[in-house]
Chains A and B, each alone.
Chain A
Amino acid sequence: MKKNTDGWLKFRIVLVLVVLVSFYGVVFFRAFHLQVIEGKALEQRARLQHQRTVKIPSRRGRVFDRNLEELAVSIEVDSVYAQPNRIEDSSKVSSALAPLLAVDRRVLRRRLASSKKRHFIWLKRQVDLGSEQRELIRTLGGVDTVKESRRFYPHRSLAANLIGFTGIDSDGLEGVELYYDKYLRGSTMTVKAEKDATGKLLLFEDVEDGVRGMDVVLTIDRTIQYIAEKALRKAVAEHGAKGGTVVVMEPHTGEILAMANAPTYDPNDIRSFRPHQWRNRAVTDMFEPGSILKVFLLAAVLEEGILDPNDIFFCENGKYRVADAVFHDTKKFGWLSVYNIIKHSSNIGAVKIGERLGKRSFYRYLKAFGFGEKTGVDLPGESAGSLRHYTRWSDVALGTISFGQGISATSLQLVGAISAIANGGFLMKPRVVKYIRNSDGVVVEEFTPVILRRVLSEDTSREVARVLTSVTAPGGTGELASLDGGFKVAGKTGTAQKPDPERKGYAPGKYVSSFIGFVPAEEPRLSILVTLDEPQGSFAGGLVAAPVFKEIAKESLAYLGVFPEGSSPEGPPSGRVVEARLSNKASVRHGTAVDHPERIPDFRGKTIRSVLRIAGERSLEVDIRGSGRAVSQSPSPGGPIPEKGGVTVVFQ
């Protein structure tokens, strides 16, 4: 019996052993199944969750004025997000976060509670946090911060309608920000990265070093822009105008030096403003120019040789019937020379000049001056204006167009056209961007002056300029635009009726008052157009717009160091476009020695990745030593590129 019991005991122990060993066998078989049979599929799945292609939006490039003053920059700010599915105690987290984010505790808790299952929600974007605050947020668990870039416009509303603005994701929405978005945005870097379960990226270098967007350097001069805006703002307020524009162009290059708009807005706070305040009216809005168009009528007849400034016309004592329409002058004129028709801005005189020129010829010149088609300026939303084909002009239409009604144009078109007179006859493409450089300051794309066509001979343009100076001479309609102290101003006033969009015909009492011209008349440096939309009270261009022109011209010339009558210390550029273009190019290229493409770049402080990129762009050989950040290089930056061998860069 005893023996038997012992036998059974032994049997049971061995049985337990066998069962357990076979369980181990089951476990091993399961491992075999997982690792060999299902292995590939599981591995695939694991890889999917580890490797993320991470898109790193590059830091948006800056916008500079022509003197490299920052107009738009991107600053790094913190955005706070939550992974609600990882938050244990949402009320604790929200209480801790509320004071840091300046958001109500209950609002936070509700947001967290309502998205309990989600993996990601923004709690607050673009807040300023200190490093201790960031650390504090990180310790809460389930919430974290990321760096985002936010657009900042240090000069607030300065050139705001031109520069435009960006959305919360730093995407260009208006103006230069929109038109040059693909440069400013730069390339989005895609990087394969390891990810852990908390969503943190690991084994990943250069996170902060995404390819920065490129910098856009405008043709705008911050000071002239400021002068123009100040003068416009003052006039709009003084005359209770609905709006206004000022465009200042360098006539020889087509570069826009200033483009002022009223109303305007603060791009740092776009949500407080409406689209009509964002709009860049100088480019998007067309209007009937009125008498300023007579300049181009004059240019056409002189170029055609049909008339001489001294030829005289009978101005019908203020009343002239053409077909079924009667034209009026504001003053009754008898016989006037072409010269005086312009000086006194006689509509009837203009109508008669137009009749002499003829529809076809006039149309051809208006086309040549760029009316009726987009200038091709590098800004979004440009309007083409409207210029009907001459075959559809009635005799009355020829008459009205001769004094600038029944045709519409943008401020930009008009400035381009007047510049063609100022620069000796070339229609230049208007431009707002001088060049684009990468984040290392190397110029990657440069925009040189573009001649669209020759419109006038140099002689004709001089002759037109001479006639236009009569406008600002004593007794001319634009006398208030004349500058004291020796500068002659060539210009023309305009007081245009506004078409009534509801009824046919013109809206009574609504005018666009303008002044267009260039200074100094003999050696033009600036073409300027001022328009004021619906000024109240006095509305004559010579009264409301001419003084604005004067103020801008005077202050800008002083700023540019242009002095009257040869007293200038550095001779103003000659009328030849070719020379202007050369000097322009040279000034860009010689920014700093290090930026020079034929010199060795400064690699110090950069990562291996960016050194390789820069070297690649310049086809420069580099010898990488070590890893980390570049601490020294041989040869030194700024020197000539060696013919043999490359640059040795030491990283640490």
Chain B
Amino acid sequence: MIRGRNADRLLIVTTLGLVAAGAVMVYSTSFIVAMKKFGDEYFFVKKHLGFVLAGMVLFIVFSRIHYRLYRRLAYPILALAIVLLALIFVPGIGHKVGGARRWLALGGVTFQPSEFAKLAVIIFLAYSLEAKKDVIKTFSPGFLPHVVVPGAVIALIMAEPDFGTAVTLTMLVYIMSFTAGVRLRYLLGLAVMMMPALYMVVSNFGYMMQRIAAFLDPWKDPGGAGFQIIQSLLAFGSGGIWGTGLGEGRQKLFYLPEAHTDFIFSVIGEELGLIGVGIIISLYVGFLVSGTMIALRTKDLFGKYLALGLTLMVSLQALINMAVVMGILPPKGLPLPFVSYGGTSLVVSMIAVGIILNICIKGNEA
């Protein structure tokens, strides 16, 4: 078993492994598009490596900041996250891409507030679940704040709309609350009550219905809504066990939309085959196991919840992304953590690892 300092070593190794695989795959998936659009095959890779560098620096910085600091700052951080999310809706600051406002343009840098909001909600939950550990079984202080506060953030994220992040965050809230001991019947009751509301929301967003319909039967309209999923499945099928070889994939040639972001795993499937898919999944499992081990080992309850939450943040997103590209879940529009091209997601994931590492080091000092 992984014990003591082995856990943090595994955490770092799996993280770096995924980041390295990501950089290679971003190049492999994007060089043709980059060549065609910008006349520079390294266009996306250069930018991606910039984010990797920034992520590394922040990883080191955050691994040296004592995590207990966030406990004190839980509310300010939450407030900041909500303000940032609200700013998206301010014309001129909010940046609209493809029908969704998900980005803030701040001094030439675009930034996804929902990524930061995930951190904020996790910090809040860790703080609040620890603070209410003795009354956790109650309805009012034990259950209600842990769904209402994140619920408000999730509602804002839904409004962007960013369904993928909202779903990830909802699952995160549920799992963290469940782990901390919130009564299951409250959680399940809420879920049942939310069903009609969820249906309303989904049916209001035409694109979601389309995506779901396409998910249920992608082959029905292969040129239309089912296009992405079918192309993704074809990519996996083409890869076979050994893959077509790095850079040799055909599906990324405009068949797979956003091959270097949301559908990078399909290209891994095509170019590196089942072997590559297995390696990437193993790295994520390694990451999940090491993060959970650190959480288990941590005596400090805030640190325990925070480590678990951050680990789950990455793991859930990875799971959902993979499930989507393989047609197990309907499309969401989530990047694959560490691997996909995508600035904020990569940087925030690296920060999360930095914090987990700090918890691993400092968590048992108190």
Contacts and interface: CB of A to CB of B under 8 A. Distances in A.
B134 to A, nearest CB: 10
A17 B179 CA distance: 11
B291 to A, nearest CB: 9
Interface stretch (A35-43, A67-75, A271-279, A332-340): A35-43
B211 interface: no
Interface string A45-63: 1110110000000000000
B274 A35 contact: yes
Interface string A7-51: 011101110110011011011101110111011111101110110
Interface stretch (A155-163, A194-202, A207-215, A560-568): A194-202
Contacts of B251: 46
Interface stretch (B8-16, B42-50, B318-326): B318-326
Interface residues of A, number: 41
Nearest to A41: B237
A12 B181 contact: yes
Given A34-B236, A38-B237, A10 B281 contact: no
Nearest to B250: A50
Contact of A196 (B240, B255, B289, B304): B255
Contacts of B285: 21, 24
B331 interface: no
A197 B234 CA distance: 13
A34 B278 contact: no
A46 B296 contact: no
Contact of A27 (B223, B233, B253, B323): B323
Contact of A21 (B236, B269, B288, B312): B288
A197 B32 CA distance: 13
Interface string B214-235: 0000000001100000010111
A202 B284 contact: no
A34 B292 CA distance: 30
A13 B237 contact: no
A5 interface: yes
B335 interface: no
A13 B295 contact: yes
A288 B235 CA distance: 75
B355 interface: no
B212 to A, nearest CB: 19
A258 B227 CA distance: 61
B278 A45 contact: no
Contacts of B250: 46, 50, 194
A10 B304 CA distance: 10
B281 A27 contact: yes
A119 B269 CA distance: 29
- Main DSSP-derived SS at the A contact region: helix
A45 B322 contact: no
Given A42-B234, A196-B255, A35 B269 contact: yes
A85 interface: yes
A31 B278 CA distance: 9
Interface string A620-633: 00000000000000
Contacts of A5: 181
A35 B288 contact: no
Nearest to A35: B274
Interface in A403-445: none
Interface in B293-342: 295-296, 304, 308, 312, 315-316, 319, 322-323, 326-328
B238 A13 contact: no
B253 A16 contact: no
Contacts of A32: 274
A31 B239 CA distance: 10
Interface in A524-550: none
Interface of B: 32, 175, 178-181, 223-224, 231, 233-241, 250-251, 253-255, 269, 273-274, 277-278, 281, 284-285, 288-289, 292, 295-296, 304, 308, 312, 315-316, 319, 322-323, 326-328
Pairs A-B, 7 closest by C-beta atoms: A42-B237, A196-B254, A196-B253, A46-B234, A197-B254, A34-B236, A197-B255
Given A27-B322, A28-B278, 20 more contacts: A13-B308, A21-B288, A23-B323, A27-B328, A31-B274, A35-B239, A35-B273, A36-B241, A36-B274, A38-B237, A39-B241, A42-B233, A42-B234, A43-B240, A45-B237, A46-B234, A194-B253, A197-B231, A200-B254, A202-B32
27 contacts: A9-B179, A16-B178, A16-B179, A20-B316, A21-B285, A23-B323, A24-B319, A26-B328, A27-B328, A28-B278, A30-B323, A31-B236, A31-B278, A31-B281, A35-B240, A35-B269, A36-B240, A38-B237, A39-B236, A39-B238, A42-B234, A46-B234, A46-B235, A46-B238, A50-B253, A196-B253, A198-B254
